[in-house]
C-alpha cells in the first residue's frame, strides 16, 4: 500500500497542532485512512488536551502498518519533553530533524504518495541560511541548483531563484546557469503534472531593471539566460519590471520567477493570502508545505488559518505518484 500521505507535525513551538486538528475534522473517511502523522505522541496528546480538542489519536510503530481506523495515526518520534508548550530549541531541533529524516526515508523508498511538513523555524535545522527546501535537497543529493521553491495556487505560481539569503548576497548568488536550470525544472514539472507548456515571466533584479545598463545584472546575467531558455523552446518573457507586474499583468502568466525570496512571495501573499502551498521541485519525491510560518503569536488562541495545510493534502492526494 503506497498511497499513504505523510504529514510532519513540524515545529513543536507553533500553531501546528491547532492546524492539524482543524484539518483533520475536514477530511473525508477515505483520506483519514491514508494520512499518517510524524510527531511525538505524548506531546501531541497533551497539546490537544490543553486546547480542549477532542480527537482520537493512535500510536503506530511505522509507516508500514496498514491501519484502517479513522483515528489520527501517529508515528511516534520518541523524545521526552518536560513542557510540550515550550520546547527548548535543542530538543525542538532534534525532534524536527528526526521527523524530516524519517519522512525523507519513507518517501525515498516510494512507500508514500508524498510528504507534507507543517511550518518549521529554519533555525532548528542547525545550518545557516537554509530552509526545508534546501535541507531535503541535500538529503536527496540534489546538485547544480536544480531544486526549486514553487509557491502555487490554481491561479498563479511564483518562484525565487535565491531563497533564504541576505539581500546583500543576492547579486553574488544569481548566475546564468542557475536561472536556466531552475526555470527548466519548472517547465518540465508543469509539462509532467499538468500536461501544459507554462507561460513564464521572469523579473529583473534591480528597480526598473537598472534601465538595462551594460553593467547591470539584467544585461550580464538575466537576459543571456532568457535567450538560452527561448532557444530551448521555453515560453518565457522578460526581464519584467517587478514594481508593476503584480498590479495586473501577472494574470498573463502561469509562473512568475523572481531573483529573491520576498520579490515574489510578498506580493503573492498580499494578493492570495493563505490560498497557496509551497512545493519543492527537483526532489526524488513530492514534498509540499503550507505557505506560512510557525505563528507563535497565535499559539493557544484558536485563530490560526488552516486553509493552506488543507490545500497541501488536496494537492498530494490529486497529484502524488
Grid coordinates standing for 43? 506531546
Are 268 and 165 members of one domain?
Answer: yes
For residue 17, give its domain range: 1-142+283-321
Per-residue pLDDT reduced to its tens digit, 212-237: 898 999 999 999 999 999 999 999 99
Q: Tell me the CA distances in angstroms from 191 to 185, 186, 197, 209, 315, one per residue in order.
A: 10, 9, 6, 30, 16
Are 7 and 136 members of one domain?
Answer: yes
Rounded to the nearest integer, the mean pLDDT of the chain is: 92
Residue 2 has pLDDT above 80, yes or no: no
Residue 313 has pLDDT above 90, yes or no: yes
Are 291 and 258 members of one domain?
Answer: no
Are 262 and 294 members of one domain?
Answer: no
What is residue 233's DSSP assignment?
T
pLDDT for the residue numbered 128: 63
Are 15 and 65 members of one domain?
Answer: yes
Are 163 and 273 members of one domain?
Answer: yes
Are 163 and 44 members of one domain?
Answer: no
Are 116 and 152 members of one domain?
Answer: no
Give 146 or 125, the one with higher predicted confidence.
125
Are 71 and 14 members of one domain?
Answer: yes
pLDDT for the residue numbered 264: 97
pTM of the model: 0.90
Mean pLDDT over residues 59-87, rounded?
86
pLDDT over 70 for what percent of the chain?
98
3-class secondary structure, 158: strand
CB atoms within 10 A of CB 4: 20
Count the alpha carbons within 13 Å of 300 in the hemisphere toward its beta carbon: 9
Q: Beta strand pairing status for 148-152 and 157-160?
A: antiparallel
pLDDT for the residue numbered 107: 93
Per-residue pLDDT reduced to its tens digit, 144-201: 677 899 999 999 999 999 988 899 999 999 999 999 999 999 999 999 999 999 999 9
Per-residue pLDDT reduced to its tens digit, 97-117: 999 999 999 999 888 999 999
Residue 206 has pLDDT above 60, yes or no: yes
Residue 172 belongs to domain with CATH number: 3.40.718.10
Are 81 and 175 members of one domain?
Answer: no
Mean pLDDT over residues 16-43, rounded?
94
Are 69 and 127 members of one domain?
Answer: yes
pLDDT for the residue numbered 298: 86
Are 224 and 172 members of one domain?
Answer: yes
How far apart CA 75 and CA 82 sit, in angstroms, is 20
Number of domains in the chain: 2
Amino acid at each position: 500500500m503506497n498511497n499513504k500521505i505523510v504529514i510532519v507535525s513540524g515545529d513543536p513551538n507553533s500553531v501546528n497542532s491547532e492546524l492539524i486538528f482543524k484539518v483533520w475534522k475536514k477530511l473525508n473517511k477515505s483520506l483519514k485512512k491514508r494520512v499518517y502523522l510524524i510527531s511525538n505522541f505524548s506531546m501531541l496528546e497533551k497539546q490537544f488536551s490543553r486546547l480542549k480538542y477532542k480527537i482520537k489519536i493512535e500510536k503506530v510503530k511505522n509507516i508500514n502498518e496498514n491501519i484502517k481506523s479513522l483515528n489520527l495515526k501517529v508515528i511516534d518520534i520518541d523524545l521526552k519533553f518536560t513542557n510540550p508548550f515550550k520546547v527548548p530549541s535543542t530538543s525542538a531541533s532534534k525532534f524536527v530533524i528526526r521527523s524530516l529524516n524519517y519522512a525523507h526515508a519513507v518517501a525515498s523508498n516510494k512507500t508514500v504518495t508524498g510528504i507534507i511538513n507543517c511550518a518549521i523555524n529554519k533555525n532548528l535545522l542547525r545550518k545557516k541560511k537554509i530552509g526545508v527546501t534546501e535541507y531535503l535537497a541535500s538529503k536527496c543529493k540534489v546538485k547544480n541548483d536544480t531544486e526549486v521553491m514553487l509557491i502555487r495556487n490554481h491561479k498563479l505560481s511564483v518562484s525565487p531563484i535565491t531563497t533564504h539569503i541576505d539581500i546583500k548576497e543576492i547579486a553574488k548568488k544569481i548566475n546564468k546557469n542557475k536561472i536556466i536550470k531552475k526555470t527548466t525544472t519548472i517547465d518540465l514539472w508543469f509539462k509532467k503534472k499538468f500536461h501544459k507548456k507554462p507561460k513564464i515571466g521572469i523579473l529583473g533584479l534591480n528597480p526598473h531593471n537598472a534601465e538595462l545598463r551594460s553593467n547591470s545584472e539584467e544585461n550580464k546575467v538575466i537576459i543571456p539566460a532568457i535567450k538560452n531558455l527561448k532557444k530551448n523552446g521555453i515560453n518565457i518573457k522578460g526581464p519584467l519590471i517587478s514594481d508593476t507586474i503584480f498590479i495586473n499583468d501577472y494574470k498573463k502568466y502561469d509562473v512568475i520567477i523572481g531573483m529573491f525570496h520576498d520579490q515574489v512571495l510578498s506580493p503573492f501573499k498580499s494578493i492570495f493570502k493563505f490560498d497557496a502551498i509551497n512545493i519543492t521541485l527537483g526532489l526524488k519525491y513530492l514534498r509540499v508545505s503550507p505557505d506560512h510560518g510557525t505563528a507563535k503569536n497565535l499559539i493557544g488562541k484558536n485563530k490560526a488559518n488552516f486553509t493552506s495545510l488543507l490545500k497541501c493534502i488536496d494537492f498530494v492526494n490529486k497529484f502524488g505518484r
